[in-house]
Structure 1
Amino acid sequence: MASHRPRRLVLAAFGTLLLATGTALAHGGSLRGEAGTIAVPSWLFLLTGGAAVGASFLLAATVTDRRYIASIDDWHRTLSRFPVAVSRYLAPLVGVVGLGAVLWAGVTPPDEPLRDLGVLLVWVGWWAGFTMTTYLVGNTWPALNPFRAVVSAVHALLGGSPREYPERLGSWPAVVGLLALVFTEVVLPLADDPGLLATAVAGYGVATTLAGLVFGESWFERGDPVSRTFAAFGAVAPLTRTDDGVRLRLPGMGLTDTSVVRDRSDVVFVVTLLWVTTYDGLVTTPLWSDLARTVVGWGVPPLLTYLLAYLLGFGLFVGAYRLAARLARGTGETFLTSDALGRRFAAPLLAIAAGYHLAHYLSYFLVLSLPLSQVLANPAAPPVNPQRFVLPTFVGGLELAFVLLGHLLAIWVAHSTAYDVFPSRLQAVRSQYPFIGVMVVYTMVSLWIVAAPSLTPPYL
């Protein structure tokens, strides 16, 4: 009977979650459109979501069988080897052709963005659809990355060895680059101006290609913001490529690998990824619209308003996590430094970022996948009035469920990590208190953004 106890507790956790959140999830809002009404008051809805995450931690904390936890984390199956020709030749070709299509569309754009191949490829096909595959299936960006393919081709033709990537840089270039890319996306009409979008893509491509030529493969492993983003999301995915072939594991279990977060710069990158995904949704809410107009009315330039809020939120997210790491050192009664604890418990946040990205872009991708397919079928003469899919109302509930599922997965990974770090059961449980507190706050913020009506942010 004892051997079945953890399994029963896990099932009970999921049952409790469904009972606690079923009513609230029935009438959620949907992204990029008019949100549905929530059947309960907003404060009760948010508290229910936060309480569900907190309750799931209490239930997970009762699973103390280390052997059972390890069996979940370490379970895997090795599948057949992926064809070398596909990953080495066909995939880079697809990436280069896609890049060429975006640049070509920027030179000869149609009148409407929904008829433009570049806009649809970048925002619908790549940033929404492809990004989902990196955490739902596996990270294929290393094979598809056109800039990496160009760097590899130049090194193969010219020979020579790239410089050694400076260890002191860590992932800091990726942090700065990701902050810059998302801020540019928010304040400029890249989704409405195909020419401007192509210019931005070309500018990023030149910068990352030059860095890749100098530092080689190490640049794409540590410094390139896009490659680092997809690699981080890939740790959540069930499929990963190894020397033996393709390995199937349970979703999120790649986050227990210590190589996912190696130093302080990786910690900040993980928090940055969570923050920029949140900010991208925050600026579409009515609350932000009203607040921005008020601040601009005081005489503050719009660009400065967005930038200050962006940096302030980034500082709050990083500060909250660092505070949690310091508090965990006390609650866990350990001699480990707060930096060491921060490194070990940062990876679970990637499950939260993946869940929120899925909630943030699910409706967007489904609605606009039809225009994308129509334009792909005839990019030279796209339809005058592209059709869009009309989604059923329950999709809004799914979006809210994905936010919660991402947080629940993060809690399990944090629980597993704690039992790997601490020999004592009490230490393992108590060390998680501050991190769970931060996750509850993240949950409530994410749920509020997803449930809020969505507006188009004013471009500057």
Structure 2
Amino acid sequence: MPRQQGQIAAAAALALAVGLLWPGAAAAHASEGGFVLLLPTDAYIAGGVASVLATVVLIALIPEGLARRLFRPLDLGRAGRARGQALTSTLSALLLLWAIVQGFVGSQDPVKNPLPLLVWTGFWLFLVAGCGVLGDLWRWLSPFRASWALVRRAGLRPLLRYPACWGYWPALLSYLAFAGVLMVHIAPTDPDRLAWMVLGYWGFTLLGSVLFGARWLVRAEGLGVLLHLYAQLAPLRRRGGRWRLGWPGWDLEGRPRPPASLAIFILMALALGSFDGLNETFRWFSWIGMNPLEFTGRSAVVGPNLTGLILAGPLLVALYAASIQAGLILIEADGFAASFCALAPAILPIAFGYHVAHYLPSALVEGQYFWNMVARTLGLNEVTVTTGFFNRQASVRTIWLCQAAAVVLGHVLAIVMSHVAALRLHGGHGRAALSQAPLALFMIFYTLFGLWLLASPRGA
């Protein structure tokens, strides 16, 4: 009887996950997203989901030994000592200080002022994507490291010991604050307001470093934690004093199980990224009772967006936890906490893939403004900003396929990483595959959800 009750509970949890993640049909309205809807996106979405499903089947069939060797990197030789980080961090700090000053005294046009372009385009669009492909660029470019080094050079030592029980919770809080500015604040690109917010974040980070030392930068600075996690997806990594090359994410697979606070941080990165796409869709506007074609500004949706931002994380964590527990019930095993934490890093490729896909159209446009800002500063030739590639079917098709590829590849990699982690948790290939069935189903429907978000018309 207990076994039957457990199986019923597992089935109920899976039904809940499917019901909440299954998207309805998108209403086709004229908007920027409408260009994408001119394409046969249903076929592309079906193909993307099918490829993820095929990956699940393949993982279940490949030999156990091969599965265990998938993320063993190739040793490329000894890596020399990393030099120059102090210089690059200092230059980054000086650049940010200059941009903050420009935020106060320069043009208040967000596409001409360096600060919004540096923060929302240079950092959030390009640097985040660069870390996932090239490695931990933030270690070289973080202005906060330079300010902490200046404090140390002045002879100050940490005043307090960072409490172990805090884990990565402060990083999660600071990342939530950043997400609130991105998705809820009425004017996140206004240069003067942004200057105060950047100064506040920098000051808070510096204060934490003065109190707790460099550990604050590693555990409590949310943007740094996010970029460091994405950097571990890069194929080429420096590990153990040597350069190693492997499948994306191999560095995550070789690390100890993350603590619960970091596992939840990873899940929140996916949840907030997904909500960042959802809150722009016609479907979201219909849920909150607003006509997207008569959108009056961000101030009109502060309340609903804040509510969605607060609820998105716990909802995703609950669905993920239900999938993990359902898998353990299927193999009649315990160890929920260990499985929850050990499998969480496999969510990172999904979060990163969606970040790249969601912001690709913005990067194509904002990147032109960013180049013009650099060109004006250095006396180079500017380009004529164009959005003409959104008006041609061939270019829109290419953009959509690149977005879909980022989402699908992220999910495929996540499934493979999750299976390898399950092998370490449960030993045998069969038990690992069975334990992953609910989580794989969760990922398949999340693939569908992500592709639907990309294809949905947008009202803001």
TM-score normalized by the length of structure 2: 0.84
Pair 1:408 & 2:408 matched: no
Give the deviation of 1:351 after TM superposition. Answer: 0.5
Superposition deviation, residue 301 in structure 1: 7.9
Give 1:314 shift: 1.7
Compute the displacement of 1:380 (Å): 9.5
Q: 1:16 — aligned with what?
A: none
In the alignment, the residues of structure 1 paired with residue 451 and residue 152 of structure 2 have an alpha-carbon distance, to the nearest angstrom, of: 47
Encode CA deviations 1:181-229: one digit per residue, 9 max, x unaligned. Answer: 1022112244531111111111111111111111112112211111110
Matches within 5 A, 1:43-442: 46-66=45-65, 68-78=66-76, 81=79, 84-89=82-87, 91-259=88-256, 261-294=257-290, 302-335=301-334, 337-379=335-377, 387-388=385-386, 390-391=388-389, 392-393=395-396, 394-442=398-446
| Shift in Å, 1:355 | 0.6
Shift in CA distance, 398/380, structure 1 to aligned 2, threshold 3 Å: closer
Aligned-partner residue type, residue 368 of structure 2? L
Contact 1:359 1:403 (C-alpha < 8 Å) held by counterparts: yes
Paired with 1:223 and 1:32, the residues of 2 have a C-alpha distance of 37
Instruction: Please list the CA deviations of residues 345-392 of structure 1 after superposition, one character each: whole Å capped at 9, or x if unmatched.
Output: 111100100110110112221222222111112249999995246442
Residue of structure 2 equivalent to 1:12: none
Q: Is the 8 A contact 2:115 2:191 kept in 1?
A: yes
> Residue by residue, what CA displacement relative to the aligned partner does 1:155-181 show, whole Å, maximum 9, x if unpaired?
232243453211111111112221221
* 1:290 counterpart letter in structure 2: S
Mark the CA change 1:111 to 1:103 in structure 2 (over 3 Å): closer, same or farther: closer
- Structure 1 residues 305, 213: CA separation in 2 closer, same or farther (over 3 Å shift)? same
Larger CA deviation: 287-296 vs 376-385: 376-385
Residues of 2 paired with 1:83 and 1:364: CA distance? 37
Q: CA deviation at 1:310?
A: 1.9
What SS does structure 1 have at the residue aligned with 2:289? helix
In 2, distance between residues paired with 1:301 and 1:155? 46
CA–CA separation in structure 1 for the residues paired with 2:232 and 2:80: 19
Seen in structure 2, the aligned counterparts of structure 1 residues 292 and 422 have a Cα distance that, compared at 3 Å, is: same
Amino acid at match of 1:224: E
1:384–1:86 Cα change, 3 Å: closer
Do 1:240 and 1:248's aligned partners in 2 also have CA atoms closer than 8 Å? yes
Q: Distance in 1 between matches of 2:379 and 2:106?
A: 11
Q: Per-residue deviation at 1:50?
A: 3.2
- Change beyond 3 A, Cα 1:84–1:45: closer
In 2, Cα distance between equivalents of 1:382 and 1:290: 46
Which residue identity does 1:258 align to in structure 2? R
SS of match in other structure, 2:416: helix
- Partners of 1:216 and 1:349 in 2: how far apart? 30
Mapped partners of 1:246, 1:94: distance in 2: 26
Tell me how far apart the structure 2 counterparts of residues 262 and 162 of structure 1 sit (CA, whole Å).
Answer: 27
1:126-168 CA distances to partner (integer Å, 9 max, x unpaired)?
Answer: 1000100111110121221111221122023224345321111
Contact 1:368 1:388 in 2 (8 A): no
Give distance in 1, aligned partners of 2:338 and 2:425.
10
For residues 250 and 46 of structure 1, do their structure 2 counterparts lie closer, same or farther at Cα, with a shift above 3 Å needed?
closer
Q: Give the Cα separation in 2 of the matches to 1:194 and 1:380.
A: 21
Instruction: Write the letter of the residue equivalent to 1:64.
Output: P
- With over 3 angstroms needed to count, the CA separation of the structure-2 counterparts of 1:346 and 1:119, relative to structure 1, is same
Shift of 1:321: 1.0
Q: Work out the number of aligned pairs and report it.
A: 419
Runs of 4+ in 1 over 6 A off after TM superposition: 380-385
1:447–1:144 Cα change, 3 Å: same
Change (3 A) 1:223 1:41: closer
Instruction: Determine the structure 2 residue equivalent to 1:19.
Output: none
Q: Which sections of structure 2, spanning at least 5 residues, go unmatched? A: 1-30, 293-298, 390-394
Q: What's the counterpart of residue 22 of structure 2?
A: none
- Displacement of 1:427: 0.5
CA contact (8 A) 2:85 2:140 kept: yes
Find the residue that maps to 1:334 and give its secondary structure. coil
Distance 1:287 1:118, change over 3 A: same
Which runs of no fewer than 5 residues in structure 1 stay unpaired?
A: 1-30
Q: If the length of structure 1 is used for normalisation, what is the TM-score?
A: 0.84
Distance 2:127 2:418 in 1: 27
Rounded Cα–Cα distance in structure 2 between residues aligned with 1:284 and 1:79:
47
